[in-house]
Structures are given as structure tokens and as C-alpha cells.
Amino acid sequence: MSDKSYDRILSELKKMNSLYPLEYFTEEELEKSLQLKHGKFRRGIKYLAKKGLIDIQWLYNGAFVAKINNHGLHAIRKDT
């Protein structure tokens, strides 16, 4: 992954996952902790979901909940 925003999103999800391993995290929780521009944040989330690095559930109102999966954890370890 070349874009730093993808790395930041994955790293934040990994940190949150280490505290609450069974939880999905809301869009608001992630966006607040990352402080990325909304458009860049949403593009990053969609990219990571398309690549299979996060599990995501889209809600009826367009929001989502997400968590990192094993592929995402492996990608972080591989990059470091």
C-alpha cells in the first residue's frame, strides 16, 4: 500500500482491535480518531474493503461499521 492514509486507517483499526477484538467500530469513531478529510477517509475505507483487508457492514443510512481482519493484520506485519 503506497498511500499513507490507508496505512493510518489500518493501523488505527489494529489498535482498536487490540483493545476490543470482537467489536466493529463506527465511522464516527474512526474518523474522529484519524482526523482525515471526509472524502479521503471514505475512499480509504472503500479501498481497504475492496482489497479484503477490513470487514465492513454498510448501514441503511450510508454509514458503516468496520474492523480489521486477518488479511489486514498480515498486510501491516508485511509492510513493517
- For the cut 60, the answer to whether the pLDDT of residue 77 exceeds it is yes
Q: 47: helix, coil or strand?
A: helix
Structural domains of the chain ordered from first start: 4-79 (1.10.10.10)
3-state secondary structure 18-77: HHCCCCCEEHHHHHHHHCCCHHHHHHHHHHHHHCCCEEEEECCCCCEEEEECHHHHHHHH
Span 17-38, average pLDDT: 92
- For the cut 60, the answer to whether the pLDDT of residue 39 exceeds it is yes
- Give the predicted TM-score (pTM) of the model: 0.88
- For the cut 80, the answer to whether the pLDDT of residue 3 exceeds it is no
User: What does the alpha-carbon distance between residue 73 and residue 80 come to, in Å, rounded to a whole number?
Assistant: 11
pLDDT of residue 80: 59
Per-residue confidence band for 5, with pLDDT thresholds at 50, 70 and 90: confident
Span 56-70, average pLDDT: 95
